[in-house]
Structure 1
Amino acid sequence: MKALVIEKAADRSLQDLNFVEVLVPTSAEHEGLIKVHADGFSPVDYKIIEGVVSAWPYPHVLGLDVAGEIVSVGKKVTTWHVADWVSGHGDLTKNGCFAEYVIAPPYELVKNSSFCVSCEIATRDLCGTLTAYEAIERKANFANVNTVLVHDAAGGVGSIAIQC
């Protein structure tokens, strides 16, 4: 399969990325294999190219945000089935989704049909939505707060944050 990869640890810019042939990943018993229909390219994707992730194997497939169709599941996966349409946000330490297929554990996925959106929309909004959710629901303490000011609500994170 074709994948967009960083070929070696010394590659640290977008210009170093290359499409190469790699093996289709094999899912473990607790993972599913997804045929990728759309990827989201977020700021995280290009920023981590310049950083160092010691857990990366090389060549490393980039990409965090994916939408597609499950084509196989491991024997311990009970929440997803072949032909389910899903989107998900991956793990920085593992190979990503800028490829024709990607593996993912169930906890990284959400069913697309419940949102009635295209794969392209599903991947476009994942990073911003998760960032807004983390900031508002998990990091901030709004126990005694009645009003919150969201600066720059025209961006991806801010536009989601004002809807919470």
Structure 2
Amino acid sequence: MPHTMQAMLINHYGQKQPDRVLVPIPTPGPSDVLVAIHAASINPIDFKTRDGAVRMLLKYQMPLILGSDFAGEIVQVGSRVTRFKIGDAVYGRPRKSRIGTFAEYLAVDQADIAQMPQNLSYPEAAALPLVGLTTYQAFHDMLQLQPNQKILIQAGSGGIGTFAIQLAKLMGAYAATTTSGTNRALVTDLGADQVIDYHQENFTDVLHDYDAVYDTLGGDNLLQAFKIVKPGGAVVSLSGLPDGKFARADGLPLWKQALFSLATRAIRKREKQYHVAYRFLFMKPSGEQLALITQLVEAGEIRPVIDEIVPFADFQQAMDHSEAGHARGKIVVKMQ
């Protein structure tokens, strides 16, 4: 095995074009496996990390290899690894302190990965970990979504949305979604019960008495979401600001808790006005939950939706395409 690998890294926050460089292959710890990464997908958290938007929540040392989920083959195991062996095809989302999937190799804790679905290719599998775990935790853990409940999934044709529509329908919910008219057929095929073309109409004029909103957009879309949720319902956001409950539970310093509390005044006002709970979701890696997703995929209940697969050499073009926000499903980088 070589001693160095190619990786995409930034040397400082705000570096719009990461550098493709040779760096040492990481050494796995006792509970780690070393994975030869075959494919990795691009996610909004990658832009936020690159631009420094996560600095209030996470501290990274520079230089930093970007990338948040992957699929690949195990080439080395630590002394305490019991769940996997060399040669296993796995996928996962490494914990936030150990990101770096835009590289040829990754050392990752065995608790953060699962066996890859046998009916998927490496690029197909790489499209699932982050969006799958995020949505599973939103629907199962936070919302405890029940059959016949109504949920609005914002941006249904995006990476999160395409997975979320499928999971909502699998859980028996009524799923509405927003997208452009050109993506109506896609989200309908995934199971969406009602499609709102955001170019033609405002979702607040069309929907009412919903049990939940799954917000992937933030900003004014998040504030407007409270209007369509019935009292006792909830808005779960991936793109809003952390609320005080999250800040306290995450053990952030008191000054940061106070800052987030101040920044979310408009949201807290909406909570009281509409009697709707607001929850901020910062997904946690879980090999166990990912194994459940593997079962759903292998049973044909959920499928990845991929906009394009690009070679590692075209990484920057893939990042730019993803950041533009018009991808249908996920953009995947083929590492080898």
* TM score, norm. by length of structure 2: 0.44
The AA in structure 2 aligned to 1:76 is R
CA deviations on 1:93-120 (whole Å, 9 max, x unpaired) are 22411111000111111111x3410111
Determine the structure 1 residue equivalent to 2:15. Answer: 13
Partner of 1:93, secondary structure, is: helix
Aligned counterpart, 1:74: 78
Gaps of 5+ in 1: none
Asked whether 1:96 is paired with 2:89, we answer: no
1:111-149 deviation line (CA, Å, top 9, x unaligned):
11x341011111122222122112101111446x73222
Check whether the contact 1:5–1:18 (CA below 8 A) recurs between aligned residues. yes
Q: 1:83 and 2:77 equivalent?
A: no
**Conserved in 2, the CA contact under 8 Å of 1:150 and 1:162?**
no
Show the counterpart of 1:149.
Answer: 151
Q: Distance in 1 between matches of 2:90 and 2:58?
A: 29
Which structure shows the bigger proportion of residues in helix conformation? Answer: 2
CA distance in 1, matches of 2:144, 2:39: 35
**Which among 43, 49, 60 is matched to residue 64 of structure 2?**
60
| Residue in 1 that maps onto 2:45 | 44
Higher RCO (CA < 8 A, seq sep 6+): 1
Kindly provide the CA deviation profile for residues 26-69 of structure 1, in whole angstroms up to 9, marking residues without a partner as x.
Answer: 00011000001001111111111112275422211111111100
- Three-state SS of the structure 2 residue aligned to 1:127 is helix
| Residue 125 in structure 1 maps to residue 113 in structure 2 | no
Aligned counterpart, 2:228: none
CA contact (8 A) 1:150 1:161 kept: no
Alignment check: 8 A CA contact 1:150 1:158 kept: no
Distance, in Å, in 2 between the alignment partners of 1:98 and 1:128 is 17
Q: Give the equivalent residue in structure 1 for 2:183.
A: none
Q: 2:164 is matched with which residue?
A: 161
- State the partner residue of 1:27: 28
Is 1:2 the counterpart of 2:3? The answer is no
Q: Which moved more, 1:20-29 or 1:125-134?
A: 125-134
Aligned pair count reads 159
Within the candidate set 128, 136, 140, 1:137 is matched to 140
Unpaired runs of 5+ residues, structure 2, are: 168-336
Seq. identity, %? 31
Computing the radius of gyration over CA atoms, which structure comes out larger, 1 or 2?
2
For normalisation by structure 1, the TM-score amounts to: 0.87
Q: CA RMSD in A?
A: 1.9
SS in structure 2 of the partner of residue 32 of structure 1? strand
